[in-house]
Structure 1
Amino acid sequence: MKVDSSIAAVVTGGASGLGAATARALAAKGAKVAIFDLQEEKGKAVADEIGGVFCEVNVTSDESVDAGFAKAREAHGQERILVNCAGIGNAIKTASRSKEDGSIKHFPLDAFNWVIQINLVGTFRCIAKSAAGMLTLDPMDDGERGAIVNTASVAGEDGQIGQAAYSASKGGVIGMTLPIARDLMNEGIRVNTILPGIFNTPLMNAAPQAVKDALAASVPFPKRLGNPEEYAMLAMTMIECGYFNGEDVRLDGAIRMAPR
């Protein structure tokens, strides 16, 4: 797909990190970008910077997502590009014993479900609603109607201690990529997923420097954290290369995560 001023795009989680970098990369090619996020101040700042529109969206809510797409389409028209970057994580063992008093506890199911609802169900919700909108479009010269990029994680393949919920949610995103690409193949909509490794996002920026240095040292090459702009580069390739479809691609400096 050629990305230019005739193309509308939606980026979930676009207020910061991987999503913001992708929103900027799309806008640099001329695309009209709508940012879906709950971080209003940051989201509006990015939208103003790139000449886009901010939509306050909670991906766990049908009503909120519907309202976001309605606002984005009123401003820019039906999107041909969707990039899903909205997500959260937690670190809780499935069951554990307290070091202080030996008491036993298990992973709270509400906390497990919340990660699944945002990372997996929220991603699918946005895909389904965006794809339905793309079906109303006329195909372009190459027969394409749209392109969707999702964000999983290397944890979806080699999750660490405490990542049961996060790994399950990201593994689900990986697992649904090919079936969705097949669902949409006759409509000219491509679907791909990126599995980022350890990236220098706002969440990671909050970690102590010693922790970041240790994480960087664990990457085979290059021995550093990934940059959001590198994620955006791969997302743009998935969008622009018309033969890229149904793929799950690690972007991780060849890291394979250890148990902890």
Structure 2
Amino acid sequence: MDTRLVNLVIDAARPRVLADFWAALLGWRVAVEEPDEIDVRAPETDGWDLDLVFVPVPEPKAGKNRIHLDLASRTPAHQAELVERALELGGRRVDLGQGAVPWVVLADPEGNEFCVLEPRDRYARTGAVASILVDAHDPAASADFWTRITGWPIQAREDDVLVGLRAPSGRGPWLEFLRNDDVKRVKNRLHLDIAPPAGADHTAAVSAILAAGAAPADLGGPPLPWRVLADPEGNEFCVLTPR
């Protein structure tokens, strides 16, 4: 399948505020600003090929997100610096019952959880973002589905707890699935966009993804040029038009 990851989309009450927070924290830039979205883009040297896309939504955040970002650090001092920068920009510390762990759990100005990791060899060359981490009842099954629709091969397995995918280029963040038995109750505030290549048949691409195990997702609203689907664990994602 030749679809690929193109965006990580984040619902926001105040997209510009949230985009400014993440751009400043990561050292990235606001690349697109339109009434219905703001895109934050990494420098080419970072290795991240996706845009962070902030879109306005009326619904408030409800409960812990099932998808979050893990940030990479080079040294303990760099980890502390990232935490301090996040707090100065409007983030806050969050207690999810994690106890005494070497990483730091924070939330952005709209309450979206993220982690600032201690230095780890796996993430030494990812750039600012170490991982897009997805809660999963069955990490192996989720990883198998996403490797089929993104072309990112499985590069790490930790028993039945975590499975990690990495872009074929070996650059940028991991896409990781972490075992978590919490029940999904509401629409995710973070979701992935994938797209077929320019000139491809959008309908055929959607059909292939459905055959791979996705399901239609009806979020209401007017018809859209893209299709909203859900992965085997109910996580929404969009199949954009070819590009």
What TM-score comes out, normalization by structure 2 length? 0.35
Greater helix share, structure number: 1
- Higher strand proportion (structure 1 or 2): 2
- Per the normalisation by structure 1, the TM-score is 0.33
Which is greater in Rg?
1
